[in-house]
Amino acid sequence: MARWTSTHADVIHMATVPKEIPIAGIVEMRLKNGEAIEGVIRRMNFGNNAGQGGWQYYGEYEIETINKQRWVIDVLDIESARAAPQNRYADYEAQGLITFRSEF
C-alpha cells in the first residue's frame, strides 16, 4: 500500500501530480529516484483516513509496461508524468495491451 502523506508538501504533491497523468492511453512517469517508466494505467487507488488524527492521504497507480511487467507506483515517488507520444500506441496495441478506436 502507498505511504500516507506526512507533510504539507506531501499533500500538495498528492493533489498536483495526478493532474499530469492522462486518464486513458499510455503514460510516461519520471520517478524521484531518476527511473522512468512507460506503460498503460491498469489501476488507481486513492484514499484518506477520514480525518482521524488529522487528515492524511495516499495514492498509487499500477502501470503495465510493453514487456507486460506490472509496477505499483506510490504517488509520492512520482516526480513528473505526461502522456506518451502517439507513435508508441501502435507498439502497445501490437502487444495486445491496449486498443485504440478512432470511431464509435
Specify the pLDDT at position 16: 94
Task: Give the predicted TM-score (pTM) of the model.
Answer: 0.88
Looking at domain 8-94, its CATH architecture is: Roll (2.30)
Mean pLDDT by 10 residues, the chain (104 residues): 93 93 89 97 94 93 96 97 90 89 67
Distance, CA of 22 to CA of 41 (rounded, Å)? 9
> Domain extents for the chain?
8-94
Beta-carbon contacts of 20 under 8 Å, excluding residues fewer than 6 positions away, are: 80, 81, 82
Contact call for residues 101 and 43 (beta carbons, < 8 A): no
d(C-alpha 21, C-alpha 80), whole Å:
9
Look up residue 8 and give its three cell numbers. Answer: 504539507
pLDDT of residue 104: 59
